Amino acid sequence: MRVRTIVALALTYALLGILMNSVGAVILQSIRHLDATRMMGSSLEACKDLSVVAASFLLATRVPAFGYRRALIAVLATMAAACLAASFAESFVAMQLLFVITGLGFGVAKIATYSTIGLLARDSADHASITGTIEGVFMIGVLVGAWLFGWFIGADEQGGGWLRVYWLLAGLCITAALLWLTVTLDEREAVAQGSEPAAGWREMARLGLLPATVAILLGLFLYVLVEQGIGTWLPTFNSEVLHLPAAISVQMSSIFLAALALGRLASGIVLRRVEWLPVLLGCLAAIALIVIATLPLARQVEPGTGLGWADMPLAAYLFPLLGFFLAPIYPTICSVALSALPRHRHPPMVGLIVIFSALGGTIGSFLTGMLFEHLSGALAFYFVLLPVTLIAFLLPAIRARQAQGAAA
């Protein structure tokens, strides 16, 4: 039953990953076929991100009382209905509503997923391993989603045929919901503090003021700032700095997603056997080395035409490998934060994690865009070294707090 529960968690989380990260493809198709302007298209990102924050702030305290299993089933059923509705509506407003619902569903699902991991984990090492594995599957979902939407868009001959991708996604959501119906989950420890929303919000505020929590949330904020900044602007870097054709620039960015997925799956194995602090410090050192070694190579690339995958500049393959070493940082810090807390305090902590992650992603993309605007693309990515260094200084403090039990 434990394995079945982990599979259900991973599948649910991966499906939400596909929908959450389809925003770029949907913006493109909305501009091409749904009469949306570029400014209208950019609103889809806000629909998604603001809904995640709203769900984390307003619903984090209610999810334990409702039940994690029931919440995930409800999210999947709602997403299936929303996908079917969007596929038939063929309007930009429907896309906006879809991403609002997706953001709300993802916020609830993340709270339920991370809190359920706390119920399943046998110890802190097991917690880190399960978290890394599920986050790895999430990144596989993001990667599969990019190619899935690309396939339906490429096969579309009428302008609306790409929306059939939502029929497939709706079917997968229903399949995952049916899988949850076969799972039993003991959630008694999740409601030890009761289900009063006001009490939960006060608990979130108390957690947010603890020194250990401040260090954890700052570390997560900086991590997401780096990941989203690189992920969002890597196609532009490939195009403007490495002089790759536009289509290949986008395709090459999938290496970053694949590296993230592989790194998180690998961390799920490694962290069962190795203490987390040296692993993360080693990853941060590797990130710094890749940045320092790769970006000078990128500045030496001369413009070319007709490039294929076989004759790419070396930097196009090396720089996305940052993802492999970035990958373990986020799930491990989350796991450290949650495994140090009683299980009934996981939902408010996950709420804080989601809020600060969303802020880090938004600010990271914005800051990197500003750097690309005012500096060369090669110089812009040097900014990665600053947050990476700050995270390295925060990790020992987080470890010391964990050892002292101060996070509880």
pLDDT per residue of the chain (408 residues) written in tens, 0 to 9: 688 888 999 999 999 989 988 877 787 777 777 777 766 766 777 788 788 888 877 777 788 888 889 999 999 999 999 999 988 887 889 989 999 999 999 989 988 888 888 888 887 778 888 888 888 888 888 888 877 887 887 776 676 778 889 999 999 999 999 999 988 887 776 665 444 555 556 667 777 777 888 888 999 999 988 888 787 777 777 777 777 775 577 677 788 888 988 998 888 888 888 888 999 999 999 999 999 988 888 777 766 644 566 677 888 888 889 999 998 998 889 888 887 777 777 778 888 888 888 788 777 767 777 777 777 667 778 888 999 999 999 998 888 766 555 444
> How many structural domains comprise the chain?
2
> What whole-number distance in Å separates Cα of residue 131 and Cα of residue 114?
8
3-class DSSP string for 144-204: HHHHHHHHHHHCCCCCCHHHHHHHHHHHHHHHHHHHHHCCCCCCHHHHCCCCCHHHHHHHH
Note whether 225 and 179 are same-domain residues.
no
Q: Determine the Cα–Cα distance for residues 113 and 72; give it in Å rounded to an integer.
A: 8
- Token pair, residue 399, equals 């470890």
On whether both 358 and 376 belong to a single domain, the answer is: yes
Please report, for the domain that includes residue 286, its CATH number: 1.20.1250.20
Distinct helix (H) and strand (E) counts, the chain: 19, 0
Do the Cβ atoms of 102 and 110 come closer than 8 Å? Answer: no
Local structure of 313: helix, strand or coil: coil
Q: Do 144 and 166 fall within a single domain? A: yes
C-alpha–C-alpha distance, residues 298 and 379, integer Å: 10
Give the residue from 377, 396, 375, 394 showing the smallest Cα distance to 386.
Answer: 394
Residues 99 and 159 in one domain: yes
How many Cβ atoms are within 10 Å of 212's Cβ, its own excluded? Answer: 22
Longest pairwise C-alpha distance within the chain: 64
Clarify whether residues 138 and 207 are in a common domain: no
Query: Are 175 and 34 found together in one domain?
Result: yes
Do residue 161 and residue 273 come from a single domain? no
Residue 303 DSSP one-character state: P
- Boundary residue ending a domain (191, 212, 240): 191
- Whether residues 158 and 40 share a domain: the answer is yes
Q: Are 379 and 237 in contact (CB under 8 A)?
A: no
Separation CA 192–CA 198 (nearest Å): 15
CB of 372 within 8 A of CB of 236?
A: yes
CB 279 within 8 A of CB 265: no
139, 257 Cβ separation under 8 angstroms: yes
CA–CA gap between residue 164 and residue 151 (Å, rounded): 11
Containing H/E element for 346?
Answer: helix 346-374
Structure tokens at 250: 């986008």
Quick one: 283 and 329 in the same domain?
yes
> CA dihedral defined by 289, 294, 296, 299, rounded to 10 degrees?
-160
Measured from the Cβ of residue 325, the count of other Cβ atoms closer than 10 Å reads 22
Q: Which of 172, 191, 210 is the last residue of a domain?
A: 191
Same domain, 161 and 221: no
Per the structure, the complete domain to which residue 84 belongs is given by: 1-191
Kindly state the DSSP code that residue 321 receives in the 8-state scheme.
G
Contact 106, 55 (CB under 8 A): yes
Give the C-alpha separation, 23 to 27, whole Å. 6
Residues 176, 255 share a domain: no
Cα distances from 147 to residues 27, 46, 153, 250, in angstroms, run 16, 23, 10, 11
Asked whether residue 275 falls in the same domain as residue 400, the answer is yes
pTM of the model: 0.77
Examine the fold and report which residue of 191, 210, 245 is the final residue of a domain before the chain moves on: 191
